[in-house]
Homo-oligomer: A and B are copies of this chain.
Amino acid sequence: MGGDNPPELLFEAVLLAVEQHSPTHTFVLLATQQVVDILHLQYMDRLAVKTTARIEFHIVDDVITMADDPLSAVRVKKSASVNVGMRMLKKHHLDAFISSGNTGALIAAATLLLPMLPGISRPALLATLPTKKKPVAIIDIGGNLYCKAINLVQFAQMAAVYQRCREGVNCPKIGLLNIGVESRKGTKELRQAYQMLQDLSLRKEVQDGCAMKFIGNIEAREIFDGRVDVLVTDGFTGNILLKTSEGAAAFVVDQFEAAVKNASPKILVNGEKKDLLKKFDYSEYPGAIVCGVDGLVIKCHGNATPCSLYHSIMGAIGLAERGLVRKIKASLIS
């Protein structure tokens, strides 16, 4: 509930996941009675077959909209899907929770209702961007406007675990986003984080299951070469970086397409354009992860389509099965 697209459209993604994948997962849909009624009517045939056993409907009474103030909405609308879902996650009735609603409300609900992982004071958002090699995990992309050095170090640890789980990188390379590569560059917090990450890296480099390698400061233009697996930054800067990439990519594709449209078969250009731009849409692969809470919480784009929600569901299943949250917790303690 609460995304830009109607729940009855997004439901297509759930049916796709149920129909195409392993029969061991159960999908819990948190929606208002009205939406559930529409779903039953609209998808009568497909719900009638054997798949129904694996889809549970759970009625919620409140809906948090994009216009709502996140914190007060979470406090007042106790029966909104985001609150109900977080409580179910806490009780381990769910293994993962996915939302395409209000991001602030999702983070607020996760913070208020789930236990924090050891040493974490507030969750951070992790998303990936494409590079010439493997995707890079960027943390934080919007959870925290201000970050102390210790926060940045914890972000690095959490994202390193993510890259091990998601991309199978044994010893993820960590970079600190800065305006120059020298260790004296940037703000006081960044200079301090540089030293702390260097120390942590030495300590963890050979540690079984927690290995990571800090390669120093990295400039924004270099991340697309795939030089690092994890890019650490505060939530303000990370958000700007992500949206700049998205905007610049769309602009360039637009300009480039105009330049070559007479020379190349249009159908190819259109196909490639779509594929390329999708990679810049953080909701796709597999969505943004709310890191630092004891529960797997994934944020889809507000205007998630059935296709992007489907990717999120598959991503969530993979991360849950590989024990992302348990491994992050272990890494923060060790």
A residues at B contact (CB < 8 Å): 130-132, 142, 145-146, 177, 179, 186-187, 219-225, 235-237, 239-241, 243-256, 259-260, 263-265, 268-269, 272-273, 276, 280
State A131–B252 Cα separation when bound (angstroms): 10
For the complex formed, measure the closest distance between the CB of A84 and the CB atoms of chain B, giving whole angstroms. Answer: 26
For the complex formed, measure the closest distance between the CB of A194 and the CB atoms of chain B, giving whole angstroms. Answer: 15
- Quick check: B186 and A132 within 8 Å, CB to CB? no
The chain B residue with its CB closest to the CB of A265 is B263
Having A145-B187, A244-B245, A249-B252, one finds 19 other A-B pairs with CB under 8 Å, namely: A132-B251, A220-B243, A221-B247, A224-B248, A236-B237, A240-B240, A240-B241, A240-B244, A241-B244, A248-B249, A249-B249, A252-B252, A259-B272, A260-B260, A260-B264, A260-B268, A263-B263, A263-B264, A263-B268
State A146–B276 Cα separation when bound (angstroms): 35
Q: Which residues of B contact A248 (CB under 8 A)?
A: 224, 244-245, 248-249, 252, 280
Most buried by B among A130, A132, A256: A256
- Quick check: B253 and A252 within 8 Å, CB to CB? yes
Q: A260-B268, A269-B260, A272-B259 are contacts. A145–B186 as well, Cβ < 8 Å?
A: yes
For the complex formed, measure the closest distance between the CB of A136 and the CB atoms of chain B, giving whole angstroms. Answer: 11
The chain B residue with its CB closest to the CB of A242 is B220
Q: Which residues of B contact A245 (CB under 8 A)?
A: 244, 247-248
For the complex formed, measure the closest distance between the CB of A139 and the CB atoms of chain B, giving whole angstroms. Answer: 15
- Quick check: B223 and A247 within 8 Å, CB to CB? yes
Q: A268-B259, A272-B256, A276-B256 are contacts. A224–B251 as well, Cβ < 8 Å?
A: yes
For the complex formed, measure the closest distance between the CB of A213 and the CB atoms of chain B, giving whole angstroms. Answer: 22
Partner of A256, one of B142, B244, B253: B253
For the complex formed, measure the closest distance between the CB of A220 and the CB atoms of chain B, giving whole angstroms. Answer: 4
Q: Which residues of B contact A132 (CB under 8 A)?
A: 251, 254
- CB-CB nearest 8 A-B residue pairs: A221-B247, A263-B264, A220-B243, A224-B251, A264-B264, A259-B272, A248-B248, A220-B244
- Quick check: B255 and A276 within 8 Å, CB to CB? yes
A–B Cβ pairs within 8 angstroms, 28 of them: A132-B251, A142-B179, A179-B236, A187-B236, A219-B243, A220-B240, A220-B243, A220-B246, A220-B247, A221-B243, A221-B246, A223-B244, A224-B247, A236-B237, A237-B240, A240-B240, A244-B245, A248-B248, A248-B249, A252-B252, A252-B253, A255-B276, A256-B276, A259-B269, A259-B276, A260-B264, A263-B265, A263-B269
